[in-house]
Every structure is written in C-alpha cells, then in structure tokens.
Amino acid sequence: MLKKKKQYVVAVVGATGAVGNEMIAILEQRNFPAEKLRLFASERSIGKSLDFHGKPISIELLAEDVFEGIDIALFSAGGDRSRQFAPAAAKAGCVVIDNSSAWRMDPQVPLVVPEVNPMDIMSHKGIIANPNCSTIQMVVVLKPIHDAATIKRVVVTTFQSVSGTGKKAMDELMQQTTDLLNFKKSNPVVYPHQIAFNCLPHIDQFLDGGYTKEEIKMVNETKKILGDDSVKVTATTVRVPVFRSHAEAINIETEKKLSADDARAVLSAAPGIIVFDAPEKNIYPLPTLSDGKDEVYVGRVRNDDTIENGLNLWIAADNLRKGAALNAVQIAETLIKQSK
C-alpha cells in the first residue's frame, strides 16, 4: 500500500524506450510530486542520461535488488522484464504500474483506466496493470455509452500507428518511406511485410482461430475494465503507416435506444473525451489531430439503421500518451489521491 507523502521516489523502467520517454515528459508536464526520479534500462543504455526538469539523470541497470526505497515504478520494458522484476519491486514495497501485457488478465491485478474504473486501484497487491493502447482509447468512449444504454456488442476495426511497436518500428517506417521514394529497395525487419504505403492486418501473434493476440486483448481487457463479461467484442486490428496515434472504427449495439444526438451529448459530458464531429466542415478525429494530446477524440457519430439500437463512431487518440504513458501516470495520480 502506498503511504501518503508530499513527494514520492519514482522509477521509470524502460526509460529509453518510446513509452519510457513519454512517461518522463508527462511526469514533468504534470508536475508529478517526484522527490526523486530513477531511470532504468538495459546494459545497452548504461552511460546514457535523460533530462528531467532540466537536469540529467543517469540510466541505471535494471536488477531485482534496485527497488528498495522506490515508492512507485512505471514499467515499460516489455513483458519478460515485467514478469521477472515486478514481483521483486512489489516485495520491496514499491507499487508497480505495468505497461506490458504480463499481468493484465491476472485476477489479483487490477486493470485500470482512471476515467472508467478508478476504484479498482484500491484492490492492488503491489502491481496495477495498464491496458493495451487500443483498448484504453476504446473503453474511455464505451464507458459513458454503457452507463447510458448498456452495450450488448462491439465490432471494432483499428488503424494503429507504428509507435505502438516501439522505437525500432518508427525508424523502420521512416527508412522504408525514404528508401522507396528514392527508388531503393527496402527490406522489412520489424514487420513481416513492408509497412510504408501499406496496411498490415496483423498485430502481435496469430492464435488458434485466426485472431491475433492484439484482437483477443481488446476482447478480454474490455470486459475486465468495464467489469461486465456480458459485453461481446469482436476486433480486427490493422497496422497503418502512421507514426503516432491510433484510430478506430467502432460499431456498437446497445440494449436501450441511444440516438446519435444522445450519444454525442453523453460523450461530451464524459471525462477524457473531446467530441469533434462536424463532418460538413470536414471536422472529424485524425491521428494528426490527437498526436501529442491527452484526450480521446470522437466523431462521425451516426445511427446504424441496420440494427434496432446501433451506433457507428470513429475515434483517435495518442497511443503513447493516453494509450500508455499518460494512463500510467494518471493511475499513479489516482493511487496517490486514494492513499492514506
């Protein structure tokens, strides 16, 4: 349990990665009450430093015995590191907020989006899981609709940026685009196919039944966060040649009728959402719009007249911020508010 203090010793594990970098920036931007920030990564990063509030902080090597005296650790160094080091951190009295998928579906570990299920944080036993990026932005929007009209079924197709795979994938998109525009051949390394000027219906591994792990994460995590197993979700996840921000086309079937106008009103009043919906003026969410922003943008809200109570909408959010680092920092802020 976190003891209430004026300031906390905070760690970022995976500090040199795409999400880790964003975590440091967000802790700084939100003036997080950090008495001290410690940064951890692999031996590849030893000797490097990163700035926090204008001062350089040396990268330390991640090990099981480093967590003594750390109050909160934000983990974003991949599932293997989370599985190995998060229990040691929790044992040392540190609260881990983990970005990987390692602990998300563990019944002992709360899976939290602060706009949706902040009270679940209180049941933590040392580890709190941050959901998958595509799930986070979807549930922020589903929650107010579920409260207003009870969602029966969701059909979602995602358009996910390469930053969701990390720094190497961002470099690959940049390199392939440059190579192809210069009539050079470019070999895919991070993805199984060329990502520049392409769309890959393949995120994470394929599982039995033909779905990918990313698609199944969206199904299972949505139910856990909403605390409602009856919500049916089916997903198709697609990687697109965008650097940052994921977009999603979502079809929702509800028990009670909620018109597009009612849905816009409900969404406008909900936390963490900006309704950006005036298609006659070409106003609708775009990855370039949500890039660097904190909110989930919602637009193209329409009645789906092919079913009795149906809605279609289109959303965009920054996967590195709300989809990862910001959500983790918001969990830490909520944890502090709830601490005694």
* Size of site (CB under 6 A) for ligand NAP: 28
**In the complex, least distance from residue 233 CB atom to ligand NAP, rounded to whole angstroms:** 18
* Minimum separation from the CB atom of position 37 to ligand NAP (A): 15
Angle 93-323-175 from CA coordinates, rounded to 5°: 115
E-state strands within the chain? 8-13, 34-41, 49-52, 55-61, 72-75, 95-98, 127-129, 151-160, 232-239, 246-254, 273-275, 296-303, 310-317
Query: Does 16 interact with ligand NAP (rule: CB under 6 A)?
Result: yes
Query: Is position 94 annotated as part of the catalytic site?
Result: no
Q: Name which of 17 and 285 has its Cβ closer to ligand NAP.
A: 17
Question: Which residues, 108 to 147, sit near ligand NAP by CB under 6 A?
Answer: 133
Nearer Cβ to ligand NAP, position 299 or 323? 323
Distance of CA 129 to the CA centre of its chain: 11
Q: Is residue 235 part of the contact set for ligand NAP (CB under 6 A)? A: no
Among 33, 79, 93, 126, binds ligand NAP (CB under 6 A): 79
Can residue 320 be called a binding residue for ligand NAP (CB under 6 A)?
yes
Residue of 144, 164, 299, 310 that binds ligand NAP (CB under 6 A): 164
Task: Count Cβ neighbours within 10 Å for each residue of 325-335 and write b for 16 or more, e otherwise.
Answer: bbbbbbbbebb
> Does 303 contact ligand NAP by CB under 6 A?
no
How many C-beta neighbours within 10 Å does residue 276 have? 19
Among 158, 254, 319, 330, binds ligand NAP (CB under 6 A): 319
Q: Does 163 bind ligand NAP (CB under 6 A)?
A: yes
Q: Nearest approach, Cβ of 63 to ligand NAP (angstroms)? A: 9
Which residues lie closer than 8 Å to 122 by C-beta, 6 or more apart?
338
Q: Is the dihedral of CA 306, 311, 315, 319 positive or negative?
A: negative
Instruction: State yes or no: is 246 an active-site residue.
Output: yes
**Binding flag, residue 18, ligand NAP (CB under 6 A):** yes
Q: In whole angstroms, how close is the CB of 183 to ligand NAP at the nearest point?
A: 30
65 makes contact with ligand NAP (CB under 6 A): no
Query: In whole angstroms, how far apart are CA 209 and each of 200, 205, 216, 245, 304?
Result: 18, 12, 11, 28, 28
Looking at 2, 10, 19, 112, which residue binds ligand NAP (CB under 6 A)?
19
Catalytic residue among 94, 124, 133, 146: 133
Contact predicate 266/148, CB 8 Å = yes
Which of these segments, 24-32, 151-159, 160-168, 273-281, binds ligand NAP (CB under 6 A)?
Answer: 160-168
- Cβ nearer to ligand NAP, comparing 22 with 120: 22
| DSSP for 161-174, written as a single string | -GGGG-HHHHHHHH
Q: Would strands 151-160 and 246-254 be described as parallel, antiparallel, or unpaired?
A: antiparallel
Q: Is residue 188 part of the contact set for ligand NAP (CB under 6 A)?
A: no
CA separation for the pair 130, 23 (Å, rounded):
13
Minimum CB distance to ligand NAP smaller for 19 or for 231: 19
Q: Assess 60 for contact with ligand NAP (CB under 6 A).
A: no
For every residue of 212-256, DSSP letters joined together read: BHHHHHHHHHHHHHHT-TT-EEEEEEEE-S-SS-EEEEEEEEESS
**Is the Cβ of residue 14 or residue 272 nearer to ligand NAP in the bound state?**
14
Q: 209-216 long-range CB contacts below 8 Å, 24 or more apart?
A: 211/235, 212/237, 213/101, 214/132, 214/134, 214/158, 214/160
Nearest residue to ligand NAP on Cβ basis: 17
Residues that bind ligand NAP (CB under 6 A): 14-20, 41-42, 44-45, 62, 76-79, 81, 99-100, 133, 163-164, 166-167, 319-320, 323-324
- Residues serving a catalytic function are 133, 246
